[in-house]
Structure formats: C-alpha cells, structure tokens
Amino acid sequence: MKHCCDDKAEALAKLCSKQERVLEIVLALNAAMFIVELATGLVSRSTALLGDSLDMLGDAMVYGATLYASAGGPLEKARVALLKGGLMALFAAGVFVEASLRAVRGVVPDEAVMGGIGVLALAANLACIVLLLRHRDDDINMQSAWICSRNDVIANGAVIAAALAVGWLGASWPDIVVGAGIAALFAVSAIGVMKEASRALRAAARDRNTNAG
C-alpha cells in the first residue's frame, strides 16, 4: 500500500508538469506577440502598441521566471514572485517615459495598424487566460501569471479603443493616453504582486526557521 506522502508527492509532480506545459505555451505566445507589436508599433508610430509590446516582453520574462520556479519550494517561489513584481514596475516606468516622449513629438499613429494588431494581441491574451485559469489558485506564481494576462486583456481593449479614437479624431492624444494608462496599470499590478510576494516570503521564512528549530 502506498503511503499518503507518496500520493501527495505524485500529485505534486503531476501539478508541476501541467503548470510547466501551460507556462511554455503562454511564454511562446507572449514572446511572439512582443516581436509583432514592437515591429508594428515602430512602423505605425504608436505609443500604445510599443507599450503593449513591452508588456508582452515583460510577461514573457515573467512566465519564464514562473516556469523556473514551478517546481521550487515556497521560499523560492516567493522570491521569484517578488522579482516579477519588480520587472512589472520597471516596464511601467519604461512605458510611461515612452508616452511622455510621444506627447512631446505629437506624431499621429496609423490607426488601422493599431486596431488590427490590437485585435491579434487580444486574441493571444484571451488564449493565455483560458490556459491559466484553472491553475491560477495553484500557488502565488501561477496567480501572478494569471494577473499578468488579465491585465493584458484590459490593455489590448484600450489599444483597440485608442485606434478607433485616433481614426475618428485624427489626433495622437488617445494613443498617448493609452500608453500612460498601461504604465499606470503596470504600476498598480506591480505593487500588488510585490506586496503578496513579500507576505509569502515572510511566511516561508518563518516556516523554514520553525522547521530548522
């Protein structure tokens, strides 16, 4: 007869394997969309697309870090989650700087490219959400990965709305406002992830000290 600990170990191994497969898929999707949005953002002169491309790059890095920590213990996972929060904050600052530069230059972006790529990015992120949904309560890293994709869907919707507004008004400010909004969304999410990771880090450290004693 198997010991109960053997059953738990086997269940944990299966869970980690499922997490890894999901994370590998969403990592590939985000890396591909980073390249697409970066290229089209430069061509269309869109702050929102450039911001969203950095969003995709940040998420690819986040999912890579989550994949690395998926088989680790609570302490390692908390450390990686804290690192992810820091990355999100860094990209928030980068997007905000880009939005400020575009505001000074006042270049009107190509709304057709913005809208088309925005729809493509939305489809990719909805696929990521569906893949991550059943795993978002597994642990703090899967939860923060799901939060990233949720935020991406909001950002994609804003990019599409900005494209429509740019086309209607013939002005650059909707694109700039969305770029700044993405930065703000990143900042709020980064603070939330880092707070949760800090709590998990303290709890894991206490447990380790208790077990060591």
Listed by start position, the domains of the chain span 4-212
Q: Does residue 181 carry a pLDDT above 90?
A: no
The string of pLDDT tens digits covering residues 69-108 is: 655 666 777 777 777 778 778 877 877 887 788 778 777 8
Alpha carbon distance 160, 118 (integer Å): 5
Are the CB atoms for 182 and 51 separated by under 8 Å? yes
Instruction: Identify the residue with better confidence: 192 or 10.
Output: 192
Are the CB atoms for 41 and 53 separated by under 8 Å? yes
pLDDT of residue 137: 62
**Angle at which helices 140-169 and 111-133 cross, to 10°:** 160
Are the CB atoms for 22 and 131 separated by under 8 Å? yes
pLDDT of residue 210: 66
Alpha carbon distance 201, 193 (integer Å): 12
pLDDT of residue 50: 81
Q: Could you tell me which CATH number the domain at 4-212 has?
A: 1.20.1510
Nearest to 54 by CA among 186, 160, 191, 158: 186
